[in-house]
Amino acid sequence: MFRMTGAEVLIRLLERQGIQTIPGIPGGANLPIYDALSRSPVIRHVLARHEQGAGFMAQGMARVTGRPQVFFATSGPGATNTLTALADAKLDSVPVICITGQVPRSMIGTDAFQEVDIYGMSIPATKHNFLVRCVEELVQIIPEAFRIAASGRPGPVLVDIPKDVQTAEIDISSWPDPGLAEAPKAVAMQDVENAARMINTAERPMFYLGGGVIQSGASALARTFAEKAGLPTVMTLMGLGGIPSGHPLSLGMLGMHAAPCANLALEECDLLIAAGVRFDDRATGKVEEFCPGAKIIHMDIDPAELGKIRPAHQALVGDVGQALQALIPRLEARNRGPWLERVRTLKTDHPMRLSGSENPRSGYGVVLEAARLAGPQAVVATDVGQHQMRAAQAYPFDTPRRWLTSGGLGTMGFGLPAAIGAALARPDLPVICFSGDGSLLMNIQEMATAVEQGVNVKIVLTNNNALGLVRQQQQLFYEGNLFASDYGYAVDFLRIAQGFGMQTLNLDQSADPSGDLERIFNEPGPGLIHLTVDAGDNVYPMVPPGAANSEMIEGEEHADVCA
């Protein structure tokens, strides 16, 4: 029998869950937790510079490891600062657990100093949340939070702990089992048989693969499935890495900034096999005109996704990996030569055009050069904007769980802290963070954390001194009325990074860009690589928001129109 405080119980339960690193920021209402954490022999605390940064670090750790990760914040502003990171984790199904301090129970509801109703505020931003009402409850809630975060479709959980619950004492005679993901319910075999029959009789099937495949750890199965059935494959932004970019069946990403061949092939398919996707509007375009002639098989672990946007002719409810495993032995050898030939022709005639890709001082070239230098094992984090779409279009994806991007929420400021988190969880891997000037400024304070922790993160900043994707939409869809999308003052990112103690490389003034890049990539620790790009250089192809994917604007066509 041990007598412990709530804070000590919490830390012990987190240790028992296997937590090794916790990013966070202390404050008045979580000081007992920090006091207990200081005595943990196994958990290392990483002091973030903003609670949103701490949340994205936890996300980076969770996205690369696939395991739930924890971050800490105090009450009030500390707690509200976590909300964007939580909402981001909800939309991208990332298992993170946010533990906030709260004012003591007797002061809840009195507008006490740094009191906010984070329980109420975080309901729509989390998969589930708790306000711990007594120390006895805490012992049950922590394993439960881990079980919920990891089970089924993963997601964020918030646990709000009043300060007097942290200091209350409890006698512990035995510990509850750590909370683990529940085994998913088996896929109905009748559904599998029906789906297999649809695949075997299809003439022009396509495979549409999303983040659920990565979450399920089913990338190898997805590849086997695609190869055995001869399925041209497209991936969502979250599904990149599901099968390697260079695979002959891969058409890369689909949707708003896809290679034209990917969207054109989808137009022609007669069966769409959707795995771990949610028919997001950035992927489907105008959904009524998405794959107009296709029947749909939709497999997902979340029953609410089935039929949410597009009704499926055959739904498979359950783990995508188990569904694919059941389908693979039921696939019949089919000659899909004419269809594969047609898709090859589309690929040849309508490829992704990566203009300037030979030049490491271009938006695409710097992505490819960084990929070459970091190697196939690298983790790639991005912020949100043109640089993100260029990386999605050009990066040679090879391995799942190495591509960290804010897909659903599209959160500028995600990249740097997520990259730091990835580097903390996988110090053995190089980490690249592709960013833009707009995004980088939104969590630039975490440069201090990166330097303090000595993480091996190389930020590749393509700087157009503008909000590029906004500017692009204004140019294309608002009669060129550029408003509030160009910055009036150009900050000096190199001096900022140097001020934080970071090594820097200015590609603008480099006589030997490839050589200089290689040198900075070989240098361990964080660094900023700066490259000026033209704000008028748009990302193409582009499907106008709300339009069908067949209505892509291609760069050269647009150039003709302008001329």
Return the number of the residue (300 or 446) whose C-beta is nearest other proteins. Answer: 300
Is 128 a residue that touches other proteins (CB under 8 A)? yes
Report the site for other proteins in 135-154 (rule: CB under 8 A).
148
Query: Which CB atom, from 56 or from 119, has the smaller least distance to other proteins?
Result: 119
Kindly state the helix (H) or strand (E) to which residue 302 belongs, with its residue range. none
CB 64 within 8 A of CB 402: yes
Q: Which is nearer to other proteins, 306 or 467 (CB)?
A: 306
Selected from 18, 77, 109, 120, the binder of other proteins by CB under 8 A is 120
Paired residues of 22 in beta bridges = 45
Q: Which two tokens stand for residue 537?
A: 């250089």
How far apart are the C-alpha atoms of 455 and 154, rounded to whole Å?
27
Continuous H helices in 168-210: 189-201
Which of 82, 102, 129, 236 lies at the binding interface for other proteins (CB under 8 A)? 129
Strand 250-253 relative to strand 271-275: parallel, antiparallel, unpaired? unpaired
Q: Least distance to other proteins from the beta carbon of 475, Å?
A: 33
Phi, psi of 108 (to 5 degrees): -65, 130
Subset of 80-119 contacting other proteins (CB under 8 A): 119
- 3-class secondary structure for 479-527? CCCCCCCECCCCCCHHHHHHHCCCEEEEHHHCCCHHHHHHHHHHCCCCE
Q: How far is the CB of 305 from other proteins (least distance, A)?
A: 9
Closer residue to other proteins in complex, CB, 118/505 = 118
Check residue 185 for interaction with other proteins (CB under 8 A): no
User: Measured from the CB atom, is 128 or 334 closer to other proteins?
Assistant: 128
Which C-beta is closer to other proteins: that of 129 or that of 263?
A: 129
Q: How much is the CA Rg of the chain, to the nearest whole Å? A: 24
Query: What 3-state class would DSSP assign to 173?
Result: coil
Q: Which of 18, 124, 293, 427 binds other proteins (CB under 8 A)?
A: 124
CB of 284 to other proteins, least distance (A): 17
- Stretches 127-135, 171-179, 181-189, 522-530: which one binds other proteins (CB under 8 A)? 127-135
Choice between 18 and 307, CB closer to other proteins? 307
Largest Cα separation within the chain, whole Å, is 81
Binding mask 268-307 for other proteins (x = CB under 8 A): ----------------------------------xxx--x
236 closest CA partner among 260, 216, 262: 262
What span, in angstroms and rounded, lies between the C-alpha atoms of 81 and 190? 47
Q: How far is the CB of 128 from other proteins (least distance, A)?
A: 4
- Residue by residue, DSSP assigns 248-284 as TTEEEE-STT--HHHHHHHHH-SEEEEES----HHHH
- Contact status, residue 410 vs residue 66, Cβ threshold 8 Å: no
Smallest separation (angstroms) from other proteins to the CB of 561: 39
Cβ proximity to other proteins: between 37 and 277 the closer is 277
* Binding segment toward other proteins, per CB under 8 A, in 74-82, 120-128, 235-243, 442-450: 120-128
> What's the min distance (Å) between Cβ of 525 and other proteins?
42
Residue number with CB closer to other proteins (133 or 197): 133
User: Which residue lies nearer to other proteins by CB, 149 or 494?
Assistant: 149
DSSP state at residue 460: E
- Residue type at position 227: E
Number of residues that bind other proteins (CB under 8 A): 14
Backbone angles phi, psi at 485, to 5 degrees: -110, -15
**Please, what is the minimum distance in Å from the beta carbon of residue 102 to other proteins?**
14
Tell the smallest beta-carbon distance from residue 123 to other proteins (Å). 5
- Residue 3, Cβ density class (10 Å: 0-12 exposed, 13-18 middle, ≥19 buried): exposed
Q: Is 422 a residue that touches other proteins (CB under 8 A)? A: no
> Which residue's CB is nearer to other proteins, number 126 or number 472?
126
> Tokens for 234?
């497209």
- Provide the 3-class DSSP secondary structure of residue 38: coil
The minimum distance between CB 319 and other proteins, in angstroms, equals: 16
Closer by beta carbon to other proteins, 124 or else 501: 124
- Residue selected from 44, 185, 308, 344 as contacting other proteins according to rule CB under 8 A: 308
Part of the chain binding other proteins (CB under 8 A), chosen from 125-133, 374-382, 383-391, 531-539: 125-133
In sequence order, the β-bridge partners of residue 160 are 100, 131
Interface residue with other proteins, options 7, 131, 165, 442 (CB under 8 A): 131
Sole window of 99-107, 128-136, 254-262, 537-545 interacting with other proteins (rule: CB under 8 A): 128-136
Smallest distance, other proteins to C-beta of residue 194, A: 21
Is 512 buried (19+), middle (13-18) or exposed (0-12) by CB count in 10 A? Answer: exposed
Alpha helix ranges (H) inside 230-356:
260-268, 281-284, 320-327, 337-349
Among 42, 123, 186, 559, binds other proteins (CB under 8 A): 123
User: Least distance from C-beta 126 to other proteins, angstroms?
Assistant: 10
Return the number of other C-beta atoms located less than 10 Å from residue 509's C-beta.
Answer: 11
CA distances from 407 to 91, 275, 469, 471 (A): 8, 17, 15, 20
Closest contact distance (angstroms) between CB of 315 and other proteins is 12
User: In whole angstroms, how close is the CB of 314 to other proteins at the nearest point?
Assistant: 18
Q: Are strands 2-5 and 169-172 parallel, antiparallel or unpaired?
A: antiparallel
CA 491 to chain CA mean position, Å: 28
Contact set with other proteins (CB under 8 A): 119-120, 123-124, 127-129, 131, 148, 302-304, 307-308
